[in-house]
Amino acid sequence: MIIRTAVLEGEVPAADKAHFDREMAETVLPAIRRYPGIRDVKLRWQAEQEAGAPPVYLTFDLYFDDLEAMHAALASDIRQEVRRELGTIMPLFKGRVYHLILRESD
């Protein structure tokens, strides 16, 4: 199993958090579920921050059978639709976004 984790390291202004979080959960997450070959997607918000840890606001974990399935999903037209959806809400996020591509043990 391959897990592609999008990490949003930073913050959303307090006045925009409810709107941002709702859009992520109600618009972006269902759109990602349409990726071809995706097995699951989970959206996770930070519950608590340990001392010295980076300020991660949230993560998306996208699950695929293998790297080929992940690459096919990322090359799909649906991903471009998701990117457009994200483009409407991401200006509220202040920070950086990066991805981890992990292999889960069997």
pLDDT average per 10 residues of sequence, the chain (106 residues):
97 97 94 96 94 95 97 95 90 97 90
Q: Specify the pTM.
A: 0.91
The pLDDT score that the predictor gives to residue 85 is 85
37: closest CA among 74, 71, 64?
Answer: 64
Domains and CATH numbers, the chain: 2-103 (3.30.70.100)
61: closest CA among 91, 100, 22?
Answer: 100
Burial classification of residue 76, based on how many CB atoms lie within 10 Å of its CB (0-12 exposed, 13-18 middle, 19 or more buried): middle
